[in-house]
Amino acid sequence: MVLPESVDSLLPPDAAPAAGVAEPPWRQRAIDRSTQSVRLRAAKRVQRFLNSAREIIAERQSIEFTVQEVVDHSEQSLRSFYQYFEGKHGLLLALFEEETDIAVRRFRASAVADDPLDRLREAVLLLYDLASPGRISVQPLFADFAQGLVAEHPDEVAAAFAPLIEFFYAIVEEAADRDLLRPGRPRRIVSIILQTATMTAVRSAGGHQPITGEEVWDFVEHAIVPDEVLAARAEAAESPTRRKSR
């Protein structure tokens, strides 16, 4: 049997595969290989833009820069930039989402206590440090950019913060299921916790007597945990000390 030079010659002009008929595996593999290569190259270009913007922000401690400066720093073209971002806002939003993703990974690595309230304390302290200018993160994204974003593009903020919100929500929901919290909606409690920690961190920075992360947690804990639960936890924490002193 002699195969034609092209499989396409078996089809009449302008013919297309019949509806519902799966493409041959070799064709799908070839397409997947091609699209994966394109995606990989695109991802590398995008990351170069993001890294360049991050370095500029870290150097200036400000989000005041131009798209052309990012393009020059990345040694790529302006045309390439606008293939991936609609402008500076899109770049900052992408960088903010990346920073949020990094933050969530930090939270998962640091908040590992078995007790949900202990995990929540660890998470609140880390969030406070991340939101404090000049502390863990040198990027003023949580301060300068995020606050403007909240006012002008609340839906984008919700999407960017979704992984962080879900992380805190899982802890708060577990604490509520164990009757460790005052009555209330877990998602509403999460929203209050996030706003309290981040806004206090930003506004307290540089003050004569800046509020500490521990003070923020103490405020949050007394706001959401019933007095009887606080008393029981305090007594449990003191018990080992009493036993050692005997």
User: Which of 59, 85, 111 delimits the end of a domain?
Assistant: 85
- The string of pLDDT tens digits covering residues 148-192 is 666 677 787 778 888 889 999 999 999 999 999 999 999 999 999
Q: What is the domain range of residue 43? A: 25-85
- One domain for residues 67 and 42: yes
Closest to 195 in 3D by CA, of 156, 225, 150: 150
Are both 234 and 214 inside the same structural domain? Answer: yes
Looking at the structure, tell me whether residues 246 and 226 fall in a common domain: yes
Amino acid identity at 129: D
* 65 located within any domain: yes
Per-residue pLDDT band for 245 (boundaries 50, 70, 90) equals: low
For residues 81 and 97, membership in a common domain is answered with no
154 inside domain: yes
Q: Say how far apart CA 155 and CA 201 lie, in whole Å.
A: 23
Averaged pLDDT for residues 206-228: 91
